[in-house]
Amino acid sequence: MTLTGNTIFITGGGSGIGRALAEALHKRGNKVIISGRRKGHLEAVVKANPGIKAIELDIADPDNIKAVAQKLIREHPDLNVLINNAGIMEPDQAAGIIDEKLLTSTVTTNLLGPIRLTSALVNQLKSRRGVILYNTSVLGFVPLAVTAVYSATKAALHSYALSQRFLLRDSGVRVLEMVPPWVRTELMNSQEAEQAMPLDQFISEILEALGTDAEEILVEAAKPLRANPGPEEHALVNEFNEQMLKLFTSSQA
């Protein structure tokens, strides 16, 4: 992907990976528009980065998605990159009764939202021979058992991206997937987690990979987990979850 001269729309751009990616791409000479539900977070990003634009978006609301998409096309007719970054992650109970509100909000935000938004903008992106980028997770390949619903949405989004990439193969639109490892962000209160990858390091490595012709955008720390699926995949899944349970248990002690 060319990393300069684009008009880029990033969901979940008020914090975490979304904000850091927006700021880095803005510095490279791209026109960046961010979105999110928290107006204060969006205003803070705009204030700190003159030139970045912001628009409120409830990714869980289909009508709001349509309205925002129409506004983007009208006000930014050169829009050529969509980064589906918004997501939520909460612990759940796959071994017991899943909270209905958690289930619905996670699936709606992490899976239905990106699909709906991409659908609303796909003709615009076709007209610009643009880029669709999905932010999934290594947990789509090696699920974290205590966030089973989140992990499942990321696996589903990966599958959707594969299908969409095939169907758009002759359109000029590139469908990319960014697969983060554990990164120090607000998700699961990971800002201070020593085992997580520092956000600035992640952004530096992900931009280097994004500037290549790769369709899956991976940092080195993500590659072992991405390579795991296969007939014997549960061995690593079990080992990974045993280690994570120990980490969570020790942090709560």
Question: For 195-218, what is the mean pLDDT?
Answer: 95
- Of the residues 9, 134, 141, 150, only one is catalytic, namely 150
Mean pLDDT of the chain: 94
Please confirm, yes or no, whether 150 is among the known catalytic residues.
Answer: yes
**% of the chain with per-residue pLDDT over 70:** 99
Task: Give me the pLDDT at residue 95, please.
Answer: 96
The pairing of strands 131-135 and 53-56 is unpaired
Task: Give me the pLDDT at residue 191, please.
Answer: 81
Task: Give me the pLDDT at residue 117, please.
Answer: 98
Give the residue among 179, 151, 145, 150 at the shortest CA–CA distance from 17. Answer: 179
Question: For 125-141, what is the mean pLDDT?
Answer: 97
Q: Tens of pLDDT along 20-74?
A: 999 999 999 999 999 999 999 999 999 999 999 999 999 999 999 999 999 999 9
Structure tokens at 154: 């990321």
| Burial track 72-105 (b if 16+ CB lie within 10 A, e otherwise) | beeebeebbbbbbbbbbbbebeeeeeeeeebeee
CATH code: domain 7-252 is 3.40.50.720
Question: For 85-101, what is the mean pLDDT?
Answer: 96
Task: Give me the pLDDT at residue 10, please.
Answer: 98
What are the residue boundaries of the structural domains of the chain, listed by start? 7-252
- Res 252 pLDDT > 70: no
Q: Tens of pLDDT along 144-195?
A: 999 999 999 999 999 999 999 999 999 999 999 999 999 999 887 778 788 8
Q: What are the backbone angles phi and psi of residue 120, rounded to the nearest 5°?
A: -70, -25
